[in-house]
Amino acid sequence: MKICGKITNIKSKTNVLFLLIENYKITQVVIKDNIDYFITNLNIGDIVSCSVTKDKNNNGKYKPIYNSYLLKNLKIISKNQKNYKLTINKTNIIKYSDIKYEIRKYLHKLGYLEVALPILTDGEISSKSESFSTLYSKKNVKLYLRKTMDVFLRMYSCCGFNKIYCIGNCYRNEYLTSKYKPEFEMLSIFSNYLDKNSAIKLALRILKIITDSKIKCSFVDEGVYNKIIPKDGTFYIISNYSNSTNSYCGTLENNKADEFKVKYNRVTIIHGVSEICNHDEYIKKINLQGKKDNYGELQTLEDLIDSGAPQCYNLGISIVRILSLYNNLKIKDYDILSFDRLGGK
């Protein structure tokens, strides 16, 4: 008889090694030969296969009693990575999935179209964060993982798609912290002809879906927010930001940035931005942020804006950041395969 599965427990006694293997049911395997070798080379989490025969004499070594088998030969199919502890909270994972479903359902009712976007691009956006790069060997061309989905969504917007969104991963080659990850999932919504007040209402409605509760909100200006001590459990909607190099958005008549942020515990969880429509203003902002040598597909967006771009409001929402902050958890509590499996802390 052959069995294959993951080792869930290892227990050694004199001249005998017991393994629990998670198969269709938990199976106890008894090793009597070459014990030292297996003790050294086997770890909990290893995927193994082996041929076994029934061993009636060893039933009852574990409680509850499992079917017990004598080992004939054992092969390690996949080694568990010792430095990576796989922590699974099924409740959180299911909750995260349900929330994304509810958001999609709500946006669908409002007439929004979900679009699929490229992950690889041949250009770097103007941003202080570094890019992950790779080589397309067939053409000997350097490509980059997207740092944001905004460029592609704005292209859709300029082509007459008035209500669009995407839930997808973005990649930034920067440090891993308890609040930020080099690989993270975002919800990005682009709405043509939507004003800031309507964008705030949409953002708060999605925020209620994510938190599944009534939320406390406070509307303040940037200057006021910087002087106060934020109250626990309160979401702050902050406007009247000063126009700055880092702010990639349109400018109001009072030289303020046409944007807003929603913060919780001083962390930005939603960012609303009015997209730049004027070509000259777009070029000026790109240059101020540090235009990259690899302009690539940004040239296409520039040409679209030069041809005439519609007024558009963009919402960037970090669902998992909201969940982790609101429930006082870590981001990786909602991500089984978090980025720290690659050696981060």
DSSP string, 129-151: SPPPEEEETTTTEEEEE-S-SHH
Q: What is the pLDDT of residue 24?
A: 54
Q: List pLDDT tens digits, range 230-254.
A: 998 999 999 988 876 556 777 787 7
Q: Is the whole model's pTM more than 0.85, yes or no?
A: no
Q: List pLDDT tens digits, range 148-157.
A: 999 999 999 9
User: What is the rounded average pLDDT of the residues 44-73?
Assistant: 68
Q: How far apart are CA 289 and CA 128, in angstroms?
A: 8
Q: What is the pLDDT of residue 196?
A: 93
User: Range with the lowest mean pLDDT among 104-113, 144-153, 295-304, 305-314?
Assistant: 295-304
User: What is the rounded average pLDDT of the residues 181-204?
Assistant: 95
Q: What is the pLDDT of residue 188?
A: 98
Residue 202: pLDDT over 90: yes
Q: What is the pLDDT of residue 61?
A: 54
- Which residues fall within 8 angstroms of residue 298, CB to CB, at 6 or more apart? 123, 125, 151, 286
Q: What is the pLDDT of residue 82?
A: 52
User: Range with the lowest mean pLDDT among 17-31, 136-150, 207-221, 304-318?
Assistant: 17-31
Q: Which residue has the tokens 């290893």?
A: 46
Residue 255 or residue 92, greater confidence: 92
Q: What is the pLDDT of residue 78?
A: 80
Q: What is the pLDDT of residue 185?
A: 94
- Which residues fall within 8 angstroms of residue 5, CB to CB, at 6 or more apart? 21, 22, 23, 27, 47, 48
User: Range with the lowest mean pLDDT among 30-34, 276-280, 302-306, 332-336?
Assistant: 30-34
Q: List pLDDT tens digits, range 95-138.
A: 999 999 999 999 999 999 999 999 999 888 766 678 899 999 99
Q: What is the pLDDT of residue 26?
A: 64
Above pLDDT 90, what percent of the chain? 41
Listed in sequence order, the DSSP H helices in the chain are: 35-41, 90-109, 150-158, 196-211, 222-225, 279-289, 298-308, 319-326
Q: What is the pLDDT of residue 126?
A: 66
Q: How far apart are CA 309 and CA 21, in angstroms?
A: 60
User: Range with the lowest mean pLDDT among 192-201, 243-252, 300-309?
Assistant: 243-252
